[in-house]
Structure 1
Amino acid sequence: MKIAILTDSSYDGKEKDYKDLYVIPLMISKQNSEQIYDDGNLSKDAFYEMLDGEALKTSQTLPGDMMKMWDKLLSEYDQVIFSPISKGLSGQFNTYRMLSETEEAYKGKIFVADTNGVSVVAQQQIRNIAMWIAENKTGFEILELAKLHSQKFVAFIVPKTVETLKRGGRIGSSAAALAKMLKIVPILRYDGEIEKEQVARTFKKAILESIAFLKKECKGIKKIDLSYSRTPDETITFVKSLIEKEGLKINIESELTNVICAHTGRETIALVGWKG
């Protein structure tokens, strides 16, 4: 059986790393309601120029584009495993899971996986899906395995500033003003959704506390995944040094995908650990 893997632009890995991997763009919306495809035609410089100037929103892949992609893939493959952005961040999963299960053309052929994935989490999950396909697992089996694996990661996001979070409504204006005045750095937990875990008095302490959380929740952890939005090289080097001083190595390293940066802003660090 020939199976394709489809993901969306919440995945920040390289499409060419897997022979049968395809990526479909999510949408980025400007304040004037203009919608832009989050694909290779949107350069990082252009994205950050927009982000610096206004509050951006993100939205699902257009239904016409999705069905066109499904139809194309099904002309070449027997089944498609679609691993979308986490259902806690977008309606993408629910919309296309329902479509795959109600439209006769896609029943038993399109499998929409519930992974809670994004960025480096999605990279690990795509790696797993490719491995399961190589082991001749069926679409139904892969759905179950992907859901089980989605419970095994622990992730923390540390934004160096809260301006983008404030603009996007993820943090209130008064809380943002207080954080700025007291130089408080939020630590956000990501488990499919982004939620506040606690705060630290400095960026360094926020990173160290995040590492401590990972060590506590992922017993015996030796490696972590690291991703970041556009950040000065010296900051990334500093974060890596803290990770190494804590006796950990970096497994996957990547630049955060646009659809996360649109909500967290520049100089955001994400740390991910996996439970055994």
Structure 2
Amino acid sequence: MTVAVVVDSTSDIPPAMREELGITVVPLTILFGNQAYLDGVEMSTEEFYQRLVTDPVHPSTSQPSPGAFAEVYERLAREHEGIISIHISSKLSGTVRSAEQAAQMVTQVPIRVIDSTSVSMGFGFLGIEAAKLARAGKSLDEIAAQVEALIPKIRLWAVLDTLEYLRRGGRIGRAGAFLGTLLNVKPLIEVRGEVLPAERVRTHKKAIARMVELASAEAPYKYLAVLHSRAQPYAEELAEQLSAIHPREGIIVAELTGVIGVHGGPGVVGVTGIKQD
């Protein structure tokens, strides 16, 4: 493969799929006070959620340093003719900026850094598409152009068990419109660059039904995934209902990594996809 594909750990691409496609992951960092852990490397998703609900210290997150990206780029440059690096929305993290700085530091091969404007499998699918195109022998420019063309077609909705973790993490964006108005309601959000308020629903069951409606209205999809944080039964239920618009075997069920969990907390259920042409 002449073009290497890099994503960050918030992409939530299942490990087996990452390995099969040869996608390189640069981890963000989870901090519990002065203790730092590389997301998915030094702290698993399961370990993170267990600690999140028991540790009195609320965690924070940090993007990879330019040096961390440069180290990865230099290693990949020895075996590839180009690198495409696709990352979490620049409105949600400084990861894109770190990658851009690293790309200026590494001159052995051309590097294209892409702001996905999304999160989780919303941009994980961009990495998957890029890897497939690279395997097909496409050039860096061709891959970047096709990936960028998919960005406006990304859709992502999620229901949160609470807005508290978003508030603590400072990533609430315009979803702050919900604050002060929630009494036993589940906030339904949309991610389009930033976290945006969508609707208020009373229960997870109603939220799932509403997400099915929203996703169905945008069908068909090239790629589709269900997301969750410690909410596998709800995720499986949602995936089954979405099988009416997309083959069930083609719907990925992915758990949100710890870095996203810092801001969303446990109990998140969502759906994301890339619309078909």
**TM-score normalised to the size of structure 2?**
0.84
Which residue of structure 2 aligns with residue 44 of structure 1? 45
SS in 2 for 1:40: coil
Q: Helix, strand or coil: the match of 2:12?
A: coil
Q: 2:20 is aligned with what amino acid?
A: D
Q: Which residue of 2 aligns with 1:96?
A: 99
Aligned to 1:214: 215
Distance of 2:210 and 2:126 partners within structure 1: 26
Alpha-carbon spacing, 1:202–1:8, altered in 2? closer, same or farther (3 Å): same
Contact 1:120-1:253 at 8 Å conserved across structures: no
**4+ long deviations beyond 6 Å:** none
Note the C-alpha offset of 1:264: 0.5
Q: Is the 8 A contact 1:159 1:186 kept in 2?
A: yes
Sequence identity percentage: 26
Partner of 2:234: 235
Tell me, yes or no, if the aligned pair for 2:86 and 2:116 is still in contact at 8 Å.
Answer: yes
Gaps of 5+ in 2: none
Matched letter for residue 235 of structure 2: I
Q: Deviations over 1:117-175 (max 9, x none)?
A: 43222332122102221333222232222111111111101112333234334569996
**If you compute each CA radius of gyration, which structure gives the higher value, 1 or 2?**
1
Q: Hey, what's the Cα distance between the residues in 1 that align with 2:176 and 2:128?
A: 40
* 1:177 positional shift: 6.7
> 5+ unaligned residues in a row in structure 1: which ranges?
none
- Distance in 2 between residues matched to 1:8 and 1:238, nearest whole Å: 28
User: For residue 263 of structure 2, what is the aligned residue in structure 1?
Assistant: 263
CA, structure 1 residues 57+141, in 2 after alignment: closer, same or farther (shift >3 Å)?
same
Q: Report what 2:78 is aligned to.
A: 75
SS of the counterpart of 1:5?
strand
Alignment of 1:17-166 (within 5 A): 17-18=20-21, 20-30=22-32, 32-52=33-53, 53=55, 54-100=57-103, 102-103=104-105, 105-106=106-107, 109-166=110-167
Q: TM-score, normalised by structure 1?
A: 0.84
Contact 2:52 2:58 in 1 (8 A): yes
**Residues 42-73 of structure 1, C-alpha deviation per residue, up to 9 Å, x if partnerless?**
12332113322232222211222221111111
Give the length in aligned residue pairs.
267
RMSD: 2.7
